[in-house]
Amino acid sequence: MRTDVVIIGGGPSGLLLSQLLNRAGVDTVVLERASRAHVLGRIRAGVLEAGTVGMLQQAGAGDRMLREGMPHDGCIFSDDDLMVRIDFAELTGKTVMVYGQTEVTADLYAAQDAIGATILHEVSDVAIRDADTDAPFVAFTHEGARKRIDCAYVAGCDGFHGVSRKTIPESVRREHERVYPFGWLGVLSRTPPAHEELIYANSANGFALASMRNPMLSRYYVQVPLSDRVEDWSDDRFWERLTSCLPREVAGTLVTGPSVEKSIAPLRSFVSEPLRWGRLFLVGDAAHIVPPTGAKGLNLAVSDVFYLHQALIRAVRHGETDGIDSYSARALGRIWKAMRFSWSMTMMLHRFDGEDSFAAEMRKATLLHLAQSETARRDLAENYIGLPF
Ligand code: APR
Ligand code: PHB
């Protein structure tokens, strides 16, 4: 079997890349370890930058998002009862779209099916071979048989735990990491959202986020120690903590109900560079992880896909390799700026165990400055709605 580009991983990065390449006449095969149901059962973040919205439309996978997604032209940052609104529309002329990543992934699968793209599920033991030569191939097991696909390029879209990054020799890789001493406990509940816009809340009890999926489905998070387990958090305990973190005027009208999903995710910042080794390219979570505080994870994956799909189309269709040569540097330029933003949002909003009174005052002063300075609000808005590709 032979194709132009083997794509490892059928998450949002792999599917979007496959969709854009196929529509431009570049042949792909997507290899995904899990079943489709498993991929679509994962609950992830839900804020799409304007650039991401544009890319999904360009891929022919944006119709349902435009119908069912909720455009938001601002969000709230709070410190106890102080609420600061960031008006994206006024400050930047742009908005974001609140639409779950799970839905984005479902729409991409539907779009791939509609054009007859090749996606193999439940593949195992994927091995990328000879990526540093002109004749790479990918070996894997599917339906009980060992198989091989020869290709011109390999796109590693297989997330943080995938094989692609580890295929790049350690002597070539540079990894940068920041692990934060807390996680986010997330709860999904069939209740109306606490507020019409997202609220990022700093409080004496730590960080909380009030988000949503639709007018009858809320998504909330509270900061928890890394040692906590989901079983430690009954619904009652969760609602009590959330209520104590939100500004009183919002907490007073909060509608609670049974959780329909509850999970804990650790927070980390991570970058592995370079993003290219020979004919292998890293995309999305395979190359970098951001803490969810800035809502950048999926959006950063999409900007990687933006750079890489252009580069691969030029290489495969026109034999021009300049885009491929510059992919890593172009993508990393934007990645590091999103890293900085997610890190600074994380530091601005979370309580660190054992911290002194100075740290809490710094957070309060940052929020107060945001309340009083349009320049500070514009800087935050510019980063939140997404820097240009
Ligand atoms: N072989 C084949 N597939 C694999 C392998 C492997 N060895 N390892 C992992 N995968 C699959 C996973 O099952 C998953 O479906 O690769 C996919 C990777 O998807 P994601 O983890 O969602 O990563 P990505 O597509 O880059 O999505 C961007 O940004 O911050 C995040 O939450 C955000 O997940 C989103 C991501
Ligand atoms: C979410 O809705 O899940 C969400 C929104 C914004 C974030 C993180 C997660 O920053």
* Residue with CA nearest ligand 1 atom 8: 162
Q: Does the annotation count 94 as an active-site position?
A: no
pLDDT above 90 (res 45):
no
| C-alpha gyration radius of the chain | 21
In the reported structure, the alpha carbon of residue 211 is separated from the centroid of ligand 2 by a whole-number distance in angstroms of: 6
d(CA 325, CA 365): 44
Q: How many residues does the chain have?
A: 389
* Residue with CA nearest ligand 1 atom 34: 298
d(CA 371, CA 52): 28
Spatial contact of 153 and 136, defined as CB atoms under 8 Å apart: yes
Per-residue confidence (pLDDT) for residue 42, from 0 to 100:
87
Q: Which atom of ligand 1 is nearest to the CA of 162?
A: 8
Please give the share of the chain, as a percent, with pLDDT higher than 70: 100
Please give the share of the chain, as a percent, with pLDDT higher than 90: 98
Pocket of ligand 1 contains residue 285 by CB under 6 Å: yes
* Residue with CA nearest ligand 2 atom 1: 45
* Probe target for ligand 1 pocket from 32, 154, 293, with the most ligand atoms within 8 Å of CB: 32
pLDDT, tens only, 189-200:
999 999 999 999
- Measured from the Cβ of residue 203, the count of other Cβ atoms closer than 10 Å reads 21
In the reported structure, the alpha carbon of residue 186 is separated from the centroid of ligand 2 by a whole-number distance in angstroms of: 10
pLDDT, tens only, 80-92:
999 999 999 999 9
Q: Does the annotation count 220 as an active-site position?
A: no
Pocket of ligand 2 contains residue 47 by CB under 6 Å: yes
pLDDT above 90 (res 17):
yes
Choosing from 109, 153, 327, 384, which is the catalytic residue?
A: 384
Write out the two tokens for 268.
């980390």
In angstroms, how far is the first alpha carbon of the chain from the final one? 35
pLDDT, tens only, 137-168:
999 999 999 999 999 999 999 999 999 999 99
- For CA atoms 180, 185, 188, 194, give the dihedral sign: negative
List domains and CATH numbers for the chain. Answer: 2-71+96-177+268-346 (3.50.50.60), 182-267+351-372 (3.30.9.10)
* Residue with CA nearest ligand 2 atom 4: 45
pLDDT, mean of residues 178-203: 97
pLDDT, tens only, 230-271:
999 999 999 999 999 999 999 999 999 999 999 999 999 999
